[in-house]
Amino acid sequence: MLGTGLAGGTALALDLGHGYWAAVSAAAVLHSVNVRTASQRAVQRALGTTAGLLIAFGVLAAGPTARTLILVIVVLEFLLEYVVARNYGLGIVFLTPLALLLSDLAAPEPAGALVLDRAAGSAIGIAVGLACALLVVHDHASVRAVRALAACERAADRARDALADGLVGTFPVAQARLAAAVVELREADDAAAGELLPAELDPAALAAAEQRAYLLLERLAR
């Protein structure tokens, strides 16, 4: 919210056309699990937008008809859907000209002005989004990691008790809960590792909890 608001407000203050592009770019950068992934998305969006703007400028500078624009839009949409799930940066290469061509189709503008608006808006959004990711430090990831470790230890204790009591009927439930807990622990630790504020976790305790969980899962499976 903070990043998108600042980016959109900055674009409006600078009287940029299509100022919402700045807010969208900031939101895209901040749609990440930690600072590391936010930085990666910022780089990918910057490079992808640059390549996409070159494509858009080339198409618009050729003065295409409405029919040609529609055909190019369909091709870009197909390429976007094909690659975006595989590579975010490559998806932006096709998303950027798609947005510009759709805008031009609805309300034609000089190619140079449209491209400059998009470039300025994207630059502001990326910069603001990355700054917020770096400067607004919170402990959400750290708290998540601590809670995940505690939950994994509780699930391991239940699995141990089920094995000790020989309650075979409870094995599937204990196994499912322990598997989910150890997956959450790994994901939480990975997220916390990419933040500026380190998690207050003992690496040895984390490794021991994971090892214990895997050993119990193996016993439950047998």
User: pLDDT tens across 83-109, in order?
Assistant: 888 888 899 999 999 988 988 887 777
Confidence check: pLDDT of 134 > 70: yes
Tokens standing for 37?
A: 């992934």
**Span 76-83, average pLDDT:** 91
Residue-wise pLDDT tens digits, 140-198: 777 788 888 899 999 999 989 888 888 777 888 888 999 999 898 888 887 776 666 66
Task: Scan for tokens 């994901």, then name that residue.
Answer: 187
pTM over the 0.85 mark: no
Return the pLDDT at 104: 82
Q: Do the Cβ atoms of 20 and 122 come closer than 8 Å?
A: no
Q: Do the Cβ atoms of 146 and 184 come closer than 8 Å?
A: no
Measuring CA to CA, how many Å separate 36 from each of 13, 33, 89, 185?
30, 8, 15, 18
Q: Helices 88-106 & 35-61, crossing angle to 10 degrees?
A: 40
| Angstrom distance (rounded) from CA 135 to CA 138 | 9
Mean pLDDT value across the chain:
84
